[in-house]
Structure 1
Amino acid sequence: MDLISILSTVLKVAVALTVFGYGLSARTEDLLFVLRRPRLLFVSIVAMFVVMPVVALAAHAYLDFPHAAEVALVVIALTPIPALLPRTEIGSGGRARYAFGLAFAVALLSPVIVPALSDLIGRLMDRPFGLSPWTVAVAMLTQILLPLGLGWIVGRLAPRAAERLGGPIVNIANLATLLALVVLLVVVFPAVLSALSLVTLLVMFGFTVAGLAVGHALAGPDRTDSVVLAIACANRNPGLAIGLAAGIFPAESFAGTVIIYALVSNVAVTLYTRLQRRRGVAPAPQVSPTPTASTQEDA
C-alpha cells in the first residue's frame, strides 16, 4: 500500500469517526427522518445523484479542460458521501435531523443508485465508469451505516458517556482529516501543479457553486434544510473519490485533481456558510438523547 492509499484510508476512517461521534447523540427518529418524508427523499436523491452528474457531463461536453479533471469531476459527482456530513451542515444552521437522516438514506440507496449511474455516464462519455454494487456497499457500510449504528447503540446504552465523548471524537476526526489532507497535498503537489490551470479551477469552482445553488433551491422553503442539501451536493468526500477513481482506473492517478477540487470546494462552501449565518439562519440545536418540544414539532 502506497502513501496515497494510506492517506485515503485515513480520510475514510476520519469520516467514520465523525459519523460515529454524531451517532452518539442521534435518535431513531433522526436516522429515519428523510426516509419517512418521500418528497424530501426524492428531492435529495435527484439533487445529489441526478442533477450533479448532469452538471459534470455538461462540463465534459461543452468545456475543454484536462482529461484528468474531466474524469475526476465525474467521479466526484458519483461520490455519495459529502466530505463533512453532518458537522458542517449542523454548524452552518442546518437541521440536525435532516443531516443524520440524509447520511443514513444515502448510505442505504447508494449501492443501487451509484453503480447504475456510473454505467450510464460511462456509456454517454464512451468510457467505462463501472462501479460494482459491492464496492459501493462496502464503502457505505464501513463509513456510514456501521459507525452510525454503533454510535446510536452506545448513545442508548451509556447516554452520559456518549455526551462526554461525542465532541472529542469529532474533534479528533477533524484533526485527522486536516492532517491527512495537508500531507496528501504535499505528496501529490507535483501532480497538483501539473493539473492546475485557470480552466480547471473555474470548472471545479463552478461545479461547487452549482451544487450549492441546486441544493439550496431544491430543498424547499425551509432554509435550514437548504443548507444541508446545498453542502451535501457541493462538497463530496475527497478520500472516497480518490478510492473510487483508483478502483475504476487503477493505472491512472487523479489525486492531484481531486485535491484541487477539495481546496476549491472548501473555499466555496466556507463563503456560502458565512453568507447563510449573516442572513440569519440560526444553528440548529444539538440532538439530545431525550426528545424536546422543538424536535417533536419537526417530526
Structure 2
Amino acid sequence: MNWDDMRLFLGLARNGRVAFAAKGLKVDPTTLIRRVKKLEDSLNCKLFELTKRGYVLTSHGSELVTYIEKAEHYFLEAQNELSDERSHLAGTIRVSVSEGFGSWFLAPLLPEFKRQYPGICIELVATSGFLNLSKREADIAILLEKPGKGLLVTQKLTDYHLFLYTHENLITQDKPQTLQELEQFTLVSYVPDLVYAPQLKFIEETALSQLSALRSTSINAQYQMLMNGAGVGILPKFIAETTSGLARLAENDIHIRRTFWLASHKETYSQARFQAFTQWLVDKVKQHQHVFID
C-alpha cells in the first residue's frame, strides 16, 4: 500500500462516480480504477460494489475510509505545523449559514481565521435560507437538518438551545413563570408561511401562538424588537445571552433543542483550504460550547 493509492481510493469513496472523482483527483478514469483495484488486491478484500448509482463502499471499504480520514487529518495537521503551510493556502470558500449563526457566532470569529490563513477568502452568506450545495451555490453549509441526499460529507456541528425571552424592564415586578401568565404580552416571532426551515416552526409547539404578534423573517429583527421592549419571543441562547438585557421566561414550559449540521462537497472536502476551515470551525464551536447549550 502507498498513500497515493489510498488518496485515490478516498476520492472515489467520497464521490462514487468515476468520471467526477477522476476529474477532481486530476487522473484518468482508467488509472483511478486500476489503482483502486491494486489497493483491493494488496488488502485482499473488495472495497466497492458497482451499482446503478455508481461505486458504493462495502463494509471493508467503509472501515478503510475511517482509518484513512484519521490519517489524513494528522497528515494535514503535521503539514501545517512543520512547513507553515497555512501561510501558503489560498482560494475562496463560500459558506452558507443561517442568519443567526452567521451574524452572532461566525462573523465575530472570522478575523481570527483570516489572520491564521491570510490567503483564504471567506464569502459568508448569512441569510434567512440556505444556498444549494448540490448545485454548487456554496462550498460549505451549516444547516439546521442533516442532508438526506447529494454527494456530501456531513457531520454534526453542535446542538443548541432556545428559550423564551423578554426585556428585563418588562418584568421589574413579578416574573411570569408559566405560559398562562403571558396573555398581556405581544409575541415576537417568524412569519408562519415564510419560515424557510421546519426546525424553526417552534411557536406551533407551544401555546404562544394565541398571543397577538409582531413578526419578521429575520432573527436579527426579532432580537431588536425584543431588546426594545416589544414583548416575548423565542431566541437561541447564543443570540439572546451574548449581551445583557434579555431574561428567560417559563423555562419549565419552553426549552427547545435544535442541531447545526456541517456539510461540504465530497469532491472538494479533502482539499487543504477546506480542511483548514472545517477543522478551525469545529475547534471554535467546541471552545465556545457554553454559548450554545446549558
Per the normalisation by structure 1, the TM-score is 0.25
Computing the radius of gyration from Cα coordinates, the structure with the larger value is 2
Normalising by structure 2, we get a TM-score of 0.25
Quick one: higher RCO (CA 8 Å, sep 6+), 1 or 2? Answer: 1
| Structure with the higher strand share, 1 or 2 | 2
Question: 1 or 2, which has the higher helix percentage?
Answer: 1
